[in-house]
Chain A
Amino acid sequence: MDSLVAEINKSLGGNDDFFQTNQNLGEVQVVLMGFKSLMDVEKTIQMLKEKVSRLPLNQVGENLQDQNDGIKGILEGKMILSIEGSVISVDAVPKTLTRSIESSTNENIVQGPLNSFNEDIDTSIGMIRKQVVSKDLYVKSYAVGTGPKRALSVVYRQDQADKEFAGSVIRQIETNLDTSLHTVQDVSKVLGLSTRSLISPFNTTESPQEVYRNLEKGKIVLFLDRTPFALVLPGHFQDLFFLENDRNFSSPIMVSIRLLRMIGTLLALVLPGLYVALVAVNPEMLRIELALSVAQSREGVPYPAFVEVIIILLILELILEASIRLPKSIGPTITMVGGIILGQAAVEARLVSNLLIIIVAATTIANSTIIGFQNSISIRIFKYLILILSSIFGVFGVLAGLFLVCSYFAGISTFGMPYLNLKGDGKSG
């Protein structure tokens, strides 16, 4: 068995956070091995001593035969004991390497439960167990990956979810167990879904409250280890507007909030296109007074409305992206520089019209009402399709663009469940 210790030493001994010490446990001399970075060594030895006083030595942990098992155990944060003749792996006292439960960072919740999932998959699933106290909550975990394995858990309510759907999701995962898995894109690959769709097949959420509701509706929730949000499958069109937390308000308020989000989505899609259409192609649609004031605000702007809009939208997208990249302390500066100074200066220099600044600001604000960051990005992209069509076909192009977007939504389905399911959660044939 010394050979096993030697083997482990050979492959991991070069790491500076690897330790190997001799220790007296009761009467016996043992060799302890593991990673200092993954465990609290002092506490683990303390715990071992305590265990040894109660149990025979070979029962404190799992007996190992294979050197690979030993290495794998060490990498997973276990402590390996080598006593003459046998090698035992023991669960160590882990170092706290994950955040504690905090309030969500990507979704703000007003008047609702604040806790959110974190990177540790067990913590996240535990939060769901707390939320859904039911024997029907079913959790199945897989280790997926080619080299290093990554945990992927499937959670659903056995009494609510469609058996066929759950079965096909699980089958997909089981057939693709040796796909490398690190990101949400990889999850799509494991599930055999397209990664090229503009609309994510998942609805992502950080809040256990949302997951609770989704589970109740029979959806399947996936957790990827080291990813602090739940992936709800399948995503639906309603996820753009409907938030479970809305139900913490009275129903008229709920309805108006949701209506507001729908109007926001529509405006975010249509406004820039409508501006181009009304200014450049169909000015006669406007009441004459309005048309004149629009024309006046564009006086001196040297290029066509389409170019004008594209330039300003590009700057705006850059501001949005930059404010994500920058440290929190400098972020507001960018907003200030970009929004106020640049916008004002562009108008003063007659590079863009006053009205356009208003339109673009309204578009961005409207875009932010959409639930979920990935959804709001999709809408941001669709806006350009409508913009291009409207610069060619005017107001008619705006509606043609809307028609195309509707068709795109209508064509998406995941595991046979249509994305655009406006009535109930039925499975399509």
Chain B
Amino acid sequence: MDKSWYVVSMFMLTHIGLILFLYPANIIASSTQGQWIPIMVGVFIHFLLLFILLKGLDRFPGQDIIAIYQRAGKLVSFIFLFPVFLYFFMANIITVRAYSEVVTIVFLSNTPLGAIMALLLVLSSYLAIKGVEAIFRAGILLFLFLFPLIFFILLVSFKNVDWHYVYPLWNKDFSFLTAPSYLQSFFAIGGVFLFLGFIQPLIPYQRKYVFLAAAAIFPVFILSVYIPVLTFGEATASKFMFPFIMTVDAINLTWFMFDRLTMFFYSVLSSLSYCLFHSYYG
């Protein structure tokens, strides 16, 4: 049975979680104006890599990446799979720490970091025990549950926007291509979709839906960077560790019974999407 729907929701959740969280700071740090240029370059590379990955997988229907490389011998599979392993390994360690730090900053200032990290690890390991399909099914449920919240946050985050900050639009300086922070931004967009390579025999999906999902989250790339920039201006936004979180936190909705709800929505969404991501790779 075709399970593209599983893949689409997982793809969107994990990407949105990482993009809103880590991406904006890196982009804002890498270029002082016309941020859409580095974003577009990043998105182009994102699509290119995605296309290459899916094209390659198409040549080996019903096999996952490990099986494909193992046919080429031990050395080749080591050379190609070890970096992937390293990426997941590092991503896991870094994101556990980073997310629990955000949780501490946002609402649990007295709770020891270790307790939050332990909770995150327990959550994701529990889901991981249930198996690959369970992860994807939980992903759909969470997607249905969180999507309205994400949409709401993205909508209300325009509240304090000053459109003058869009200018200057053009930037002749392409030095961002070599800036370390720009390269770091690929952490959020250049590797998350690698899970597509590992699920093939268990969860069959159609390629076009993956591209549709990628296209659907394209606005999130732009918004995640431009909302902080348009709210605070580039000079201020570059000072923040998590610009998007700061922007959302600055929103004050008078008709709302909660004071910092947007922020809590946001942190939760990223932590949950992280848990999904983590249970898959961990």
Which A residues form the contact surface with B (CB < 8 A)? 281-282, 284-288, 290, 389, 392-397, 399-400, 402-404, 406-407, 409-411, 418, 420-423, 426-429
Contact = CB atoms under 8 A, between A and B. Distances in A.
A393 B108 contact: yes
Contact of A410 (B137, B145, B260, B267): B137
Given A403-B138, A421-B137, 9 more contacts: A285-B261, A286-B258, A393-B111, A395-B264, A396-B103, A396-B116, A396-B267, A402-B145, A403-B127
Interface in B95-145: 103, 107-108, 111, 115-116, 119, 123, 126-127, 129-131, 133-135, 137-138, 140-142, 144-145
B272 interface: yes
B202 interface: yes
A264 B195 CA distance: 35
B106 to A, nearest CB: 8
A282 B203 CA distance: 40
Interface string B243-282: 0000000000000111111001001100110010000000
A422 B145 CA distance: 13
B242 interface: no
Q: Residue among A394, A410, A418 with the most chain B CB within 10 A?
A: A410
B272 A286 contact: no
Nearest to B141: A406
11 contacts: A285-B258, A286-B258, A287-B258, A399-B268, A402-B145, A406-B142, A407-B127, A410-B133, A410-B135, A418-B134, A429-B133
B1 A427 contact: yes
A407 B131 CA distance: 10
B141 A409 contact: yes
Nearest first, the 10 A-B pairs at minimum CB distance are: A411-B130, A410-B138, A410-B137, A410-B134, A407-B127, A426-B1, A420-B137, A411-B134, A399-B268, A406-B138
A403 B272 contact: yes
A290 B260 CA distance: 13
Contacts of A400: 119, 123
Interface residues of B, number: 39
A399 B271 contact: yes
A132 to B, nearest CB: 26
Contacts of A396: 103, 107-108, 116, 267-268, 271
A420 B141 contact: yes
B5 interface: yes
Contacts of B107: 281-282, 284-285, 394-396
A282 B259 CA distance: 11
Interface of B: 1, 5, 103, 107-108, 111, 115-116, 119, 123, 126-127, 129-131, 133-135, 137-138, 140-142, 144-145, 202-203, 256-261, 264, 267-268, 271-272, 275
Contacts of A287: 256-259
A403 B134 CA distance: 12
Contacts of A389: 119
A418 B119 contact: no
Contacts of B138: 403, 406-407, 409-410, 420
Contacts of B267: 396
B268 A411 contact: no
Nearest to B127: A407
Contacts of B203: 429
Given A285-B261, A396-B268, A422 B144 contact: yes
B130 A410 contact: yes
A291 to B, nearest CB: 8
A287 B275 CA distance: 29
A397 B271 CA distance: 11
Given A287-B257, A393-B119, A403-B123, A422 B140 contact: yes
A20 B130 CA distance: 62
Contacts of B141: 406, 409-410, 420, 422
Contacts of B261: 285
A403 B142 contact: yes
A137 B35 CA distance: 65
